[in-house]
């Protein structure tokens, strides 16, 4: 990952400001509705049972439920206790995404645009306000990728090693929250291997000062990015080893995961919100997390991608493929590959029932490609610069337009059709 020729100033302060602003927006009225909605009916009761070491929801790994259970333990069995973890990890993931963009590109405008586009792509906001496993998994995935990119930029062995340690820890906890991030978790190790071979050939033992990270051998990198995340992942199963019913064996790694795979593949009952990958890409099939009348007021929360930025992002993806091939833009290539890997796994996934929220990570990386495309427009002169600015403003404007049905605000009567532009949105 060679340094970009531009010498932009690190926008760390602005990254923190955007993160705190996003967190404040997430926490505003997060306690509504005051009961479980959508898949909270699965994950909150499972987390409550975990406090008593009673097994539940055994088809998913442990860490996200442990985090929700810890929050409930300290804040109580109430909405803020259920949903605070998603809000915190959503904000942390947004910061991680911004820092990943900075270390990958060293482009100030692209970094800030990427954070704003992700914060307003609808999916990241909505998923950060519901007590499910996905945001804990996605937020930690962004942190792990950020630390890996920072390791590649580090100037010393100690700094690089520390960054790799943090990367392995976050990536291990990410897949320990939910397996969805597995393709992204594997890419840092593969990237390190490719960069190592490019610099050193097939000398796998390594030189003390050679390789992508100064002083880090291929063997050590394999530990931090391979064995260490697996160890972290398995350590999160410790509470399950003390279950009151059918505890997990400390040495039963393979057996446990064979059982979990059987459980996941056994869910074949049709679901009204079931969808497939090409519907996600086209923003064609949404999920109504909530739509009902509460206290004589109609409210709704819809899991939908920003219909403007998600579609323009596909055009940016075509640009990104060309920029990666013909301009040797490694920063663009990184986000294109992350999008392809996290979407591709669902194209070939054997899981019979899939949902739009599985597009959470691909949709985020698509915003990264779009941000780099906008940065290229802003760096040009004349019409393209204005097109880039207009695109960015419209993306944020659509978030404001749809905000009432993203946040559960009270809705005027008979306005449902105002936002329902496509049949698959109903």
Reduced to 3 states (helix: H, G, I; strand: E, B; else coil), residue 41 is helix
- For the purposes of burial, counting CB atoms within 10 Å of the CB of 14, is it exposed (0-12), middle (13-18) or buried (19 or more)? middle
Closest CA to 309 of 149, 164, 119: 119
The answer on pLDDT for 308 being more than 50 is yes
Number of C-beta neighbours around residue 271 at 10 A: 12
Q: What is the pLDDT of residue 58?
A: 94
Residue 212 near residue 167, CB atoms below 8 Å: no
Reading the block at residue 193, the tokens are 């291997």
Output b/e per residue, 382-396; b: 16+ Cβ within 10 A. Answer: eeeeeebeebbeebb
- Poorest-confidence range of 6-15, 195-204, 206-215, 289-298? 206-215
Question: Sorting pLDDT into bands at 50, 70 and 90, what band is 382?
Answer: confident
In this predicted model, which residue has the larger pLDDT, 105 or 202? 105
Length of the chain: 426
Closest CA to 240 of 220, 260, 222, 221: 260
Distance CA 193, CA 364 (A): 25
Q: What is the pLDDT of residue 2?
A: 42
Long-range CB pairs of 109-112, under 8 A, 24+ apart, other chains included: 109/8, 109/374, 109/375, 109/378, 110/371, 110/372, 110/374, 110/375, 111/11, 111/15, 111/371, 112/11, 112/14, 112/15, 112/18
Per-residue pLDDT reduced to its tens digit, 399-415: 999 999 999 999 887 77
Residue written as token pair 């947004």: 94
Distance CA 340, CA 317 (A): 10
Mean pLDDT of 138-157: 96
The answer on pLDDT for 4 being more than 50 is no
Reduced to 3 states (helix: H, G, I; strand: E, B; else coil), residue 290 is strand
- For the purposes of burial, counting CB atoms within 10 Å of the CB of 340, is it exposed (0-12), middle (13-18) or buried (19 or more)? middle
Question: Sorting pLDDT into bands at 50, 70 and 90, what band is 209?
Answer: low
Output b/e per residue, 282-304; b: 16+ Cβ within 10 A. Answer: ebbbbbbbbeeeeeeeebbbbbb
- Poorest-confidence range of 35-39, 286-290, 297-301? 297-301
Distance CA 359, CA 137 (A): 13
Distance CA 425, CA 303 (A): 10
Non-local (6+) Cβ contacts of 411 within 8 A are: 297, 298, 299, 300, 404, 405
Residue 311 near residue 318, CB atoms below 8 Å: no
The dihedral sign for the CA sequence 422, 423, 425, 426 = positive
Residue 301: strand pairing partners: 290
Q: How many CA atoms does the CB half-sphere of 259 hold within 13 Å? A: 13
What 8-state DSSP symbol labels residue 274? -
Closest CA to 345 of 325, 360, 332: 360
- Poorest-confidence range of 70-74, 108-112, 211-215? 211-215
Q: Give me the phi and psi of 132, to 5 degrees please.
A: -125, 180
Average model confidence (pLDDT) across the chain = 93
Distance CA 343, CA 402 (A): 25
Question: Sorting pLDDT into bands at 50, 70 and 90, what band is 207?
Answer: low
Reading the block at residue 196, the tokens are 């190592």
Residue 273 near residue 356, CB atoms below 8 Å: yes
Q: Can you point out the beta strands (E) in 163-221?
A: none
């Amino acid at each position: 990952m060679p340094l970009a020729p531009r010498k932009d100033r690190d926008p760390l302060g602005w990254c923190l400001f955007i993160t705190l602003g996003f967190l404040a927006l997430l926490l505003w009225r997060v306690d509504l509705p005051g009961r479980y909605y959508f898949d909270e009916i699965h994950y909150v009761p499972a987390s409550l049972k975990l406090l008593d070491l009673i097994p539940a929801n055994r088809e998913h790994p442990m860490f996200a439920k442990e985090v929700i259970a810890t929050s409930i333990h300290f804040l109580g069995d109430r909405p803020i206790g259920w949903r605070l973890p998603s809000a915190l990890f959503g904000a942390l993931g947004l910061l991680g995404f911004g820092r990943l963009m900075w270390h990958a590109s060293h482009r100030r405008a692209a970094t800030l645009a990427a954070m704003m586009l992700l914060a307003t792509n609808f999916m990241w906001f909505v998923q950060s306000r519901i007590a499910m496993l996905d945001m804990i998994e996605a937020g930690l995935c962004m942190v792990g990728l950020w630390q890996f990119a920072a390791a590649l930029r580090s100037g010393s062995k100690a700094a690089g090693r520390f960054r790799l340690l943090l990367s392995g820890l976050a990536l291990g906890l990410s897949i320990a929250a939910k397996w969805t991030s597995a393709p992204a978790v594997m890419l840092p190790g593969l990237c390190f291997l490719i960069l190592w071979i490019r610099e050193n050939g097939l000398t796998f033992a390594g030189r003390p000062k050679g390789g992508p990270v100064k002083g880090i051998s291929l063997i050590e990198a394999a530990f931090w990015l391979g064995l260490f995340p697996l160890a972290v992942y398995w350590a999160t199963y410790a509470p399950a080893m003390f279950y009151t019913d059918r505890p997990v064996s400390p040495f039963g790694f393979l057996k446990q995961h064979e059982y979990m795979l059987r459980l996941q593949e056994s869910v074949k009952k049709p679901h009204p919100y079931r969808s497939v990958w090409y519907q996600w890409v086209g923003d064609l099939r949404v999920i109504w997390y909530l739509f009902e009348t509460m206290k004589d007021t109609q409210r709704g929360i819809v899991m939908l991608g920003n219909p403007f930025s998600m579609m323009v992002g596909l055009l940016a993806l075509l640009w990104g493929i060309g920029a990666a091939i013909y301009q040797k833009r490694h920063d663009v290539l990184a986000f294109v590959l992350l999008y392809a890997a996290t979407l591709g796994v669902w194209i070939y996934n054997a899981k019979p029932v899939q949902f739009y929220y599985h597009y959470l990570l691909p949709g985020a990386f698509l915003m990264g490609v779009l941000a780099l495309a906008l940065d290229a427009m802003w760096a040009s002169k004349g019409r393209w610069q204005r097109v880039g600015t207009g695109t960015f403003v419209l993306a944020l404007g659509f978030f404001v337009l749809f905000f009432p049905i993203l946040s559960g605000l009270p809705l005027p009567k008979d306005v449902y059709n105002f936002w329902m532009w496509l049949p698959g949105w109903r």
